[in-house]
Amino acid sequence: MYDIVVIGAGVVGGMIARELSAYRLALCIVEKKHDVAMGASSANSAIVHAGFDAKVGSLKAKLNVRGSEMMEKVCEELGVKYKNNGSLVIGFNDEDRATVEELYKRGTANGVKNLKVLDSDELHAIEPNVSKNAVCALHAPTGSIVCPYELTVAAIGNAMDNGADLKLDFEVTDIRDKGDYFEIVSAGETLQAKYIINAAGVYSDAIAKMVGDTSFTVHPRRGEYVLLDKECGTLVSHTIFRTPSKMGKGILVSPTVDGNLLTGPTSVDIEDKDDRSTTPEGLAHVMREALENVDSVMFNKTITSFCGLRAVGSTGDFIINLPRERFVNVAGIESPGLSSAPAIAEYVIELLANAGMPLEKNASYQPRRVAMHAFREASMEEKNAIIKKDPAYGRIICRCETVTEGEILNAIRTNPKPRDLDGVKRRTRAQMGRCQGGFCSPYIVEMLAKEMNVSYETVTKFGGESLINVGKTKEVK
């Protein structure tokens, strides 16, 4: 019997689990996919929003501003890359200027610090590559960037190091109310838990329905991105947004913490909650609008394009409540969900405490986690000391991103352990570079097979049927 089960291993479920692991609780995270960080938390804009977007007085506004304040420390503890690069919302005409003023007021009311409205000269002085047609901008110095899947992996890894269980390939298909506990049913195993946190992203309405809560729905909204080579990573230093219009927030251009340049997202409502496909129109839209905002974005240096699905709730705000005893919804966590995640976790603990959940501090709780990129950032002397102890750190596997065998093995052996190629990619950046795994994936398949003690041809890209090979040569029929 678990004290508490968190459904969904995204950044929200992950941060909540980490926060819960600071208490003496039998805790389990369940996730239907083959790895953690496979939903919205793997494909989004990666921005820690300052907090000027959300409606004054909303839960979104409150948790965004609080989360953004907490984020740097959380990342430092978890060994996750974080960069306070500042955001700019640029405007092209009088109407935009009015919007910029409006955002300034709203942000200030939300408690965002140091906002400033810039004129064209001030804007171009700090961002010379922003379109010359831009006439004004809102500058939010507290806006930052993180790597969302790195944060998710680290939060869940840290929770596991503090005693939490993780069950992957565990799709919750039903929840049975047993009076003072729940049964959480999947195709394989059934778990028992006193409390449940519903952090199932776009599917959180389906989970809520399992306990009879039909007070909200969640629908998917597609966001497509184009990611460019590191060569382009310094085109802008701030995150460049367009002033929002009725059509949404528009296409942003931003550096990433890993040094690439990210452009996107589109914003289109769709039906299928699993449809992560990109469209020709969407990608064209991203490229066109990015070029309107920033000069000479080099799309011939594209290394990949991808799509994420926003979990848009029917209430217009984050839905965080207890629709019934011992069951917490954390639903409709669309943007700025990533920014808010640490604050959401704090808020959920508060809700649980107020609802009478016994919360006793876990004396051995360790909030810190060794950074996955520790080796990469070490000095030459430090690296040589490590290589001396473990020669695998002298062997480069991923040439584009310079990732060593030692780092990959370490990732494969560290909670939450990756079991597929994409999992290794998200943790180590191997296969993430300009050749996109062309050189190194055959070796990583080999390392995974060996470490997991399975045969070469059973290794997948991301679980399920996503096999890399279909059999041995000469044996294929």
Ligand X SMILES: Cc1cc2nc3c(=O)[nH]c(=O)nc-3n(C[C@H](O)[C@H](O)[C@H](O)COP(=O)(O)OP(=O)(O)OC[C@H]3O[C@@H](n4cnc5c(N)ncnc54)[C@H](O)[C@@H]3O)c2cc1C
Question: Quick one: what does residue 441 bind among ligand X, another protein, none, with the CB cut-off 5 to 8 Å set by partner type?
Answer: another protein
Report the chain's terminal Cα–Cα distance, integer Å.
47
Instruction: Give the residue with the Cβ less far from ligand X, 27 or 172.
Output: 172
Question: Quick one: what does residue 356 bind among ligand X, another protein, none, with the CB cut-off 5 to 8 Å set by partner type?
Answer: none
Nearest Cα neighbor of 94 from 102, 105, 86 is 102
Contacts to ligand X from residues 319-338, by CB under 6 A? 333-338
- Shortest Cβ 376–another protein spacing (Å): 12
Instruction: Give the residue with the Cβ less far from ligand X, 255 or 265.
Output: 265
Asked if 111 and 57 count as a contact pair (C-beta separation under 8 A), the reply is no
Question: Quick one: what does residue 300 bind among ligand X, another protein, none, with the CB cut-off 5 to 8 Å set by partner type?
Answer: another protein
x-or-dash pattern for ligand X, window 165-184, by CB under 6 A?
Answer: -----xxx------------
Told to check if 302 binds another protein by CB under 8 A, we report yes
Residue 61 structure tokens: 């506004």
Rounded Cα distance between 273 and 277, Å, is 11
Specify the stretch interacting with another protein by CB under 8 A; choose among 86-94, 139-147, 276-284, 325-333. 276-284
Contacts to ligand X from residues 18-37, by CB under 6 A? 30-33
Asked if 183 and 191 count as a contact pair (C-beta separation under 8 A), the reply is yes
Question: Quick one: what does residue 308 bind among ligand X, another protein, none, with the CB cut-off 5 to 8 Å set by partner type?
Answer: ligand X
Residue 242 structure tokens: 């367009």
Question: Quick one: what does residue 265 bind among ligand X, another protein, none, with the CB cut-off 5 to 8 Å set by partner type?
Answer: ligand X
Contacts to another protein from residues 348-407, by CB under 8 A? 380, 383-384, 387-388, 391-392, 394-396, 399-400, 402
Q: At 341, is the secondary structure helix, strand, or coil?
A: helix
The half-sphere exposure of 53 on its side-chain side, counting CA atoms within 13 A, is: 28
Question: Quick one: what does residue 457 bind among another protein, ligand X, none, with the CB cut-off 5 to 8 Å set by partner type?
Answer: another protein
Instruction: Give the residue with the Cβ less far from ligand X, 441 or 460.
Output: 460
Instruction: Give the residue with the Cβ less far from another protein, 133 or 277.
Output: 277
Asked if 288 and 207 count as a contact pair (C-beta separation under 8 A), the reply is no
Residue 376 structure tokens: 């990469």
Told to check if 203 binds ligand X by CB under 6 A, we report yes
Told to check if 466 binds another protein by CB under 8 A, we report yes
Q: At 4, is the secondary structure helix, strand, or coil?
A: strand
Residue 291 structure tokens: 């070029």
Exposure letters 373-401 (e unless 16+ CB within 10 A, then b): bebeeeeeeebeebbeeeebbeeebbebb
CA–CA distances in Å: residue 373 to residues 404, 428, 466: 11, 7, 27
Q: Could you give the residue numbers annotated as active site?
A: 49
List interacting residues with ligand X (CB under 6 A).
7-13, 30-33, 38-41, 44-47, 49, 170-172, 199-201, 203, 207, 223, 265, 308-310, 333-339
